[in-house]
Each structure stands twice: as C-alpha cells, then as structure tokens.
Structure 1
C-alpha cells in the first residue's frame, strides 16, 4: 500500500518533544513526565508528549482564572468574534497538516480526517464566532408586592473557568464543540485531550497562539485520566466541566463536580436503534445503515449499532449490508485507497474482539467480517462485521461496542418495535427509514433519543442542539441551547420609586 507522503512541517511537529500549553507559553511538566503516542496502523511511536500531573493542572487553572478576571474579561464581543474567525481561518490554512496528524494518531482515513474533522472544526468556530454580540438579557415587567416602581433586567455572564475533557474518536472537532461556545461567551478553558490522541489538540494550541488569543484563555494539559483528568474534574477553582466520553467515566466526572457544585455537561455513550420499515427504499436504507456503523471504524457515540429490519425485507437488507462491508478497503489512514482505518488502540481492539467472540458464543449468527485481515496484522484492524440476532439476546445487542459491529434484529409489530428500540439505558440517537411520512412522524415522536434521523444518519450541524436522553448525557452541545451551559443569568432589581 502506498501512503501519502507526510508533509515536512508535520514531520517537524511530530519530531519535537511536546510541552504543555499554559498561560500562552509552552512549558515542561513540573514532574518531568512524558508518554509516547503510537500510530494504530502499525504500532510505531510517532511522538513524545508531556504528561501533566496535579501541579500542572493547578498552574493551568490558575492561568485560566487570571485571564478570566483580567484581560479576557475586558475584551469586547467584537474582538472575541475577530479572534475566533482568525482561528477558523488558521485551521483552514493548516487543514492538510491537521488532517495528517489526526490520521496518524487516530487511524481514520485522511479524507475523513480532513473533511469530517478539520473542515467541520472551522465551520463550528465560525458559527460560534457569530454569538458574542447576540448573547442578551431581557427586561421583565415585574409586579412587586410593595407597589414600588421597579426596573428588573437580566444579564448573561460567562460561567467562568471551564474544564474540557475530549475523546479520541474525533480529537479535533470535539475541541471545537466545547471551545466554540466557551470562547463566544467569554469563558476561559483548560483542555485535556485523550492520551491516545493529544497531537491534534496541541497543534490547535499552536494556532490559538498564532491567532493572538491572550495567554491563559485556552490552556492544554496532556496526560492520563488519573494524573490530569481527575484533578481537573475535581479542581475547586473550575466553574464548569464539559466531558465527552463513556458513561462510566461520565459518572466519575459528575461525582467529582459535587465538591464545589460545578456546572456539568456530559455527552456520553449510546446504543442507537436504526429502523427500516418495509416501505423504505432498501438500497438507500442499507447504505445508510452501513455508513452509520462503519464510519470512523464504528468509533462513534451515535453509531447505528442496532439495526431493526422488518421481516419482509430482512434478507434483502442483509445482502446489501454484505456488499457494503466487502466494498470497504481496510488499511492505514494515509493510504489514499483506504476507506476504513484501524481501531484507535490495542485496548479498543481487544474490546471489540472480545465482543465478537462473546456474540458467537451467545448464539448470534455471524453474517460477515469478525476478524483482522492477515495482511494487516501489524495494526489494530477489524473487518466490517454484521451479526444477525433476530430477538436481540446476545450482549452485542445491548452494550456499546465502539467498533465496526452491527447487530441486525427482525420485527413485525410496530408497537413492539418501538418498545424494543427504547428498551435501553441509552438515548443518544435513533433513525427511521420509510417513505411513509405519517409513520415517520409517529415513530420519531415515540423514540427516546436526543437526535432522530429520518432517511439519513448522523446529520450534525453547529446550529442544531446535540445530546442525549437517559444515560447518554446531561445537557446539549451546539446551537443556541449550549450558550446557556456556558453562561450564568443574573437578575438585577432597581428601585425607581
């Protein structure tokens, strides 16, 4: 396989030992710790990164507080907009470099890294750059019991210092999901990327520095959960924490926030149902189902991992899924022919392998996939995998896998179908494929999910809220809804009598 040549600037970036970004400067961790980042396509070390500990987190939070109460707190809305637009421009200018960095550390195909992360990151920053001048309070016609003439108005103020812990599956765009509203509202941030994929966040920090943001507005501390993530989540001078990741870690984040009653937003796991009705365009629906589970190697919180297919179109759908699975070209992310890269790490690879083995033991029928191609044994590759488990008795029908594994179930009664689709502790996303508009609206209204897609999958836009029901999270990201998550509302009463 012929890989894309790595840009000289990317080679330079990878070769340099990576420091922490605190108060606008690149600094070494106090304890001097470091760790290596590997390319999951071949298990080779590609960079060495500083490992932050509690003392470094303290420095970063202090820098964020100082900026919040100092220069950043005095910056006008129009200047916040200018800086954010400048950052978006720099992300676009650096797009090909960022795409390679993401592909190397995460494994996803370069084209997906470029179009699915870098371009989207710039769009998110531009969307939120429009918000600083539109965050408004209101005047309220109150009726005091005293009969006094009163003026009551509200103002929106930044919530404060925000801790941001982002995942490895979308290492750049998830930064933008959180930094966008934080910067727009006038907050400051301490960003902790996943230890598997810290490089794109550090590259973004270089661009933040070039854009001219004051020191301390955005700080980046790389490291592990125990050394950096846990101290950040529990820090008494952090006002809000925004986390994207597993439900298990989300519970720990929520517990850590209790100490000083931090504001918390959590975007967690999912086990999303995707429903095909008998009247649907099966060719289109099967392609949507395949894209919904195989994109990003299935490492997507909204992965369409539960596919409910009507009995009458089950065999046709399975045939189409086999075609889409076999059409994927599995390989390194920098190979131009690759359409599916490796899983992100050895740990994730073993988790997916374990689920596949357990599903077979529990009686699920393996339709295709389920193994690593022999010619790719050096990396963490897994074939697109389809199981049939008509009555969803195997664990793969209930538990989040985070890999390219879909479980197909059959159905005949629509009321029972809706019950089965909702019978999960998660509620992040759901999909319906049908040409019957009445059925589409009826089922969408009954599904307990934060996003419902009809005849499409995984449509996300900066202007539209994103988040989950039940154990899929707290709050919403994106859109105008997220502005409330990064602001406090102050009510002011003035006696005019």
Structure 2
C-alpha cells in the first residue's frame, strides 16, 4: 500500500521535490512509516527563497491593517483546524493529544496577539541641538527570514518566529523538522486561505544537513531563527557567519526546579511532574534537575517516584494517555545510554529505569527518577530530552543557587517557596532567561522567552522578541538651506 505524500509549499501551492525523492516519516507508536515527505535539496530551497524574495518587494509595503487582518484570520483558521493539526503532531512526534490540542487552541489567540504587533513598528524622533535638523528612526523588515523549528512542537515553535516575521513585513521560508513536518505544511495552506499573498510563507521539507544547510547558506536569507540543540546550533551559526547574517537561537536546557523546605508537598509533586514528565520530557524547558532541600528530600522523592509509577503510557492520541513514546530512535537510544551511565556512576533508580523498558513496540521510556545524583555527573550536565529526573539535594539557599547555575545551559528554572523574599533573591541570582516562581511551563505571547549561555541568544515573544524582526533606519532632515558651511568638516 502506498503511503500518503506531502510536498513542499512554494509560491502558494503544493510543489513536488525537484529530485522526485521522498523521506519516510515514522509513527513512534510502532516505528513504522505512515507517510512520506518531500526530500528537499538546494534546488527546492532556492525556489522557495526566490518566491519569498520576490514577494518581499510588495509585502513590505503592505499596511499594518492588512497584515493584521490576515494574521487574525489565520488564528481563527488554526482554531477551526485545531484537532487536525493536533492529530498530525501527535502521530508524528508521539506527544499526547491533550497537550498538542491545547497548544493548537492556544495558538489561535497567539496569532491574534501577533496580528496586533503589526501596529507596533514605532520609530522615534531624536532631539538635536540644531533646530533646523530633524532626526527620526523608522523600523524596516529584514527581508527573507529562515525559520528552522525543533521537532517536539513545530507549530508552536515555528509560529514564535514566522508569525511576528510576517507581522513586521518580512517573508519566510520554513524548514520543518523531518520527523514532524505535517502540521507546518497544513499551516501554510491555511495561511493562503487566510489571504496571505503567494510567496510570503513557504515550506521546504527535508533533512537539516541538506535543506536546512541550503536555507541558512542562501545569501538572500537575511536572518535565521533556529530552535534545537547546541551542537546543531554551532553548525547553523558557522554556516550563517559565512554570509555575515544574524541568528536568533533557542536551544536546549538543563533547568533546575528548586524546592525549598517550606513548600506544600502535595503541590510540590505536581510541580515536579509538570516540569519533567509532561511531553515525555521532550521539551527544552524540562525541569530535569530536581534540586530539593535535604530536610524534605526523602518525602518528596518518595511521593514523586510513586506518582511516576502511576503515569499512564500508551497511544498519544488516546485522551486517557498521560505520556506517549519518544519521538525517534536517536533520542530514545540517547536516553537509554545516559541512564545506564548514571547507574554506573552511582545513581539509584527510584522509579522507571532500564529494567522497566516497555515491550509495546514503540519508543517508550518509562518515567524515571534517579537519586544520588551529584551535579558533576553526565546526567546532570547533559540534556537528555526524555522523561528522566535527576534528584540533587542541597543544604541552603546559596548552595541551591550555585548548583543551579553550575551548568553550561541557562534557559529556565523553577523556584518553589512560600517566602517572598527568598523567591525574589533566588530568582534574581539564577542564570536563566525565564524563572517561574511556584509554577512551571507557563508561556504567553507577550512575555519574552529565550536563554543565555549554551541555551542560545536573542528573544522570542513580546515586544522584545518583535524587535528581532526589524532593524532601525535613521533618517536626517535639514531645513536650513545654508547649513553646510564647510563641506570638509563632520557636522
């Protein structure tokens, strides 16, 4: 039986790959192909960038009202097609339907917010000592923006870049993750239905080393927004540097979820589970390091381990499932090897672990709790991108902050305490782009998001993120006809 095929979306229509080649996309539930996607190469990327470059010449001059109306309509369409979009991402990546459906419904509102940003391209007038001089700034779009989102939430992560890029007057070429491409292809179709002109949003599928490399390397792509791992980001930025182009990077994390001795333990268990086992740990903001005060450590670990053992694994499209399979063999194998190494280094398995691996046929890894972890162990320093919690004890506030900051990453962190003063001190002293106090995994389109250190640079969301999609142009006006008295002197 032939598998359904997904082509590129270039110049507002389905476009077959130049080579005629397609890649299989696997169902994580059974590790078998369920569809095929176009295997994009340099020729396909060149066609997409050409379409975007041509469209930019007119799109940049379209007024904010028309751009806002299109994005608002697109948000409505995402809401109308939320179940279809969620089903595609759930099947492609193994994420539970309850999470991806929430994301799609949430994105409807997010696109409405991005639509409002079309009116936020404010310049300013700069005071000058000479009354006859007027200096103003205007904000100009870059041109063609390259967007490469991560596989775990391509609709959400891709939209964080492509929606504000379009709102600001840029055009976009997206290279979706090869293991989770279907939803962004449908998004491009919906954008056309919403009235987006042909060529403003293009989607080219394929491998990162081929299609992604060609996109980053094309000289007409003026800025790149990449979400993924630090190793891949080094390749992307090196390639972009050849063209002297900027990158905004949202990379991995090894986030500390810190629990002080005054927390309510019942709430604390939910906070731990939310941080690490939601999305099977396949999220850049996973609270994969549980830092817990030694006075409550035994009880909290006991309760978290007991909860982990009850998490319902199964078909991610079943609404009763709490955790689905891992997305792909590479991630699964990495989690297996790193948990094995942690046990060799002295970690104790409180729940899950290699002895509890499933024989269901898919890439299922059980919710795992490891105690006896010190922060110098590999499992505490490397991002696993799986449902593995590393428990680290601390004695006081200074030690907690020191452990939390002792990592190459700096994306997010959680602080749980009923002491407001402590919460304030700790939040200010943590090296991370986002700090949650008494909550975790909360996101909003108006709140900037991004990391420091090996977790990337630049910001998405909010006015801080929107500024990444335009650059200021200074314009000087002189009203004094006799202003230039000495043409050889700087004024």
What TM-score do the two structures reach when normalised by structure 2?
Answer: 0.95
Q: Does 1:401 align with 2:389?
A: no
In 2, the alpha carbon distance for the partners of 1:202 and 1:46 equals: 16
Aligned to 1:44: 32
Aligned to 1:110: 97
In 2, the alpha carbon distance for the partners of 1:382 and 1:301 equals: 18
Question: 1:482: Cα distance to partner?
Answer: 1.2
In 2, the alpha carbon distance for the partners of 1:59 and 1:445 equals: 47
Aligned to 1:216: 199
Question: 1:160: Cα distance to partner?
Answer: 1.1
Show CA shifts across 1:375-415 (max 9, x none): 64310001100001243342111111000001001111321
Aligned to 1:242: 225
Whether the 8 Å contact between 1:372 and 1:381 is mirrored in structure 2 is no
Structure 1: gaps of 5 or more residues: 1-13
In 1, the alpha carbon distance for the partners of 2:353 and 2:109 equals: 36
Aligned to 1:309: 292
Question: 1:354: Cα distance to partner?
Answer: 0.7
Aligned to 2:169: 186
Question: 1:298: Cα distance to partner?
Answer: 0.1
Question: 1:24: Cα distance to partner?
Answer: 0.9
Show CA shifts across 1:149-176 (max 9, x none): 1011110111110000011111211121
**Distance verdict in 2 for CA 1:156–1:372, change over 3 Å:** farther
Aligned to 2:487: none
Structure 2: gaps of 5 or more residues: 481-491
Aligned to 1:480: 463
Whether the 8 Å contact between 2:412 and 2:435 is mirrored in structure 1 is yes
Give runs of aligned pairs for residues 198-347 of structure 1, distance below 5 A: 198-347=181-330
In 2, the alpha carbon distance for the partners of 1:258 and 1:379 equals: 40
Question: 1:134: Cα distance to partner?
Answer: 2.1
Question: 1:97: Cα distance to partner?
Answer: 1.1
Aligned to 1:100: 87
Corresponding residue SS for 1:383 = coil
In 1, the alpha carbon distance for the partners of 2:402 and 2:256 equals: 11
Q: Does 1:467 align with 2:467?
A: no
Q: Report the number of matched residues.
A: 479
Aligned to 1:132: 118
Whether the 8 Å contact between 1:287 and 1:320 is mirrored in structure 2 is no
Aligned to 1:142: 128
Aligned to 2:144: 161
Whether the 8 Å contact between 2:369 and 2:389 is mirrored in structure 1 is yes
Whether the 8 Å contact between 2:357 and 2:364 is mirrored in structure 1 is no
Question: 1:323: Cα distance to partner?
Answer: 2.4
Q: Does 1:386 align with 2:373?
A: no
Task: Decide which of 47, 51, 54 is 1:63's aligned counterpart.
Answer: 51
Show CA shifts across 1:115-141 (max 9, x none): 1x2112212211110011221101111
Aligned to 2:430: 447
Deviation >2 Å, runs of 4+: 371-377, 389-394
**Distance verdict in 2 for CA 1:390–1:48, change over 3 Å:** closer
Whether the 8 Å contact between 2:325 and 2:365 is mirrored in structure 1 is yes
Show CA shifts across 1:234-253 (max 9, x none): 11110010000001111111
Moved more, 384-393 or 296-305: 384-393
In 2, the alpha carbon distance for the partners of 1:135 and 1:374 equals: 52
Corresponding residue SS for 1:30 = coil
Q: Does 1:351 align with 2:351?
A: no
Task: Decide which of 3, 8, 12 is 1:24's aligned counterpart.
Answer: 12
**Distance verdict in 2 for CA 1:375–1:444, change over 3 Å:** closer
Task: Decide which of 93, 96, 107 is 1:121's aligned counterpart.
Answer: 107
In 2, the alpha carbon distance for the partners of 1:260 and 1:336 equals: 47
Corresponding residue SS for 1:178 = helix
Whether the 8 Å contact between 2:357 and 2:365 is mirrored in structure 1 is no
